[in-house]
Amino acid sequence: MSVTAAQGFEAAGVAVGLKSTGNRDVAVVVNRGPLKVGAAVFTSNRAQANPIIWSKQVIQDGVVEAIVLNSGGANCFTGSFGFQTTHQTAERAAELLGVSAGDVLVCSTGLIGTGDEVFRGKVLEGVAQGIAELSADGGENASLAIMTTDTRPKRSVISRDGWTIGAMAKGAGMLAPGLATMLVVITTDAVLTSEQADTALRAATHVSFDRLDSDGCMSTNDQVTLLVSGASGITPDLADFTAALTEVSADLSRQLQGDAEGASHDITIVVRGAANEDDAVEVGRSVARNNLFKAAIFGNDPNWGRVLAAIGTTQAEFDPYNVDVWMNGVRVCHEGGPDAPREEVDLSPRATELVIDLLTGDATATILTNDLTHDYVHENSAYAS
């Protein structure tokens, strides 16, 4: 059911020709209330697409009536024409829904630097067609419409004590913090204020989407949105809601990791024994972005020396000659020296776990990444052709 699993939401996903494949390419999600609460987090890239610039303005008052998303074009670096396109998208949706354009979020994904009158016309057509097809069963079609190089849709639903969270996501490449190149829409029928929604969303993304670092490349269009309808009439404990939201976000992050472009290994990097959480994240990120390590994993080579070389570039507090490293359950390095023979490590499964113990403190963090493959290079060398 995706985003329509929660009460109070309708959605649609339609095809208007933005994609050469003819697949669905415009999604609309509408909050029917009674609450119209919204919260969002955005890419930290200084280069930001027109929909991000628009949506940052919309979200300031915490009121969101609807969100329109298109694939098949990022509408980024398209100048004033591109911003006008985003503005007109919100205005068209607002006119058809009888709401204010200032309460309509807009998201786009696809190739950067393209956009013309044909693109604009198709997006506006998609808005009209999508709103005409809105239904409480439209969540699955909406999740299909936001896909680009994704090979499958990403959806997640969780229910707790009479309230529900439903979600959809897209993302397969340019996966790095600042959210990864993802569009995520999360809905809930729980009763929350805009301040509570914002607090919960930031806490959830901090330990999920922000720790997905597949290829180290940050997008211009990332946005994670939480919409609150309050239709269940139930006000959950904020800690309980945040825990459930984090669970949904972590599930979607794993789905994004598992569909990363060209990847043959899904690598979970667990850093423990750190002096603090920031150190653990920095150390995990240094390995996730190390092409030598990622290439070794692609070749099923347990080259743990590349792990120590990577973490040595950080400012984290630890002794590089007193570190333990496990690869898929085998301790290959103990206190900065060789331990079990490399031959004992089986890297043939897609699921790969790297554990780094800094033997310094009690903090832990987990980073998700992928290997570096021929297919990744090929897919991204031909993305615009």
Enzyme catalytic residues = 181
- Classified as helix, coil or strand, 356 is strand
According to DSSP, the residues that pair with 26 across neighbouring strands are 14, 70
Rounded CA gap, 227 and 66, in Å? 9
Closest listed residue to residue 282, CA positions, set 310, 251, 248: 310
Q: Are 121 and 83 in contact (CB under 8 A)?
A: no
- Classified as helix, coil or strand, 385 is coil
- Classified as helix, coil or strand, 146 is coil
Rounded CA gap, 101 and 91, in Å? 5
Q: Are 314 and 286 in contact (CB under 8 A)?
A: yes
- Phi/psi at 126 (nearest 5 deg)? -65, -35
Rounded CA gap, 265 and 293, in Å? 12
Distances, alpha carbon 85 to alpha carbons 57, 79, 91, 108, in Å: 16, 10, 10, 11
Q: Are strands 324-327 and 330-334 parallel, antiparallel or unpaired?
A: antiparallel
Residues with Cβ within 8 Å of residue 236, at least 6 apart in sequence? 160, 161, 163, 190, 191, 192, 244
Rounded CA gap, 20 and 287, in Å? 37
- Classified as helix, coil or strand, 348 is coil
According to DSSP, the residues that pair with 157 across neighbouring strands are 166
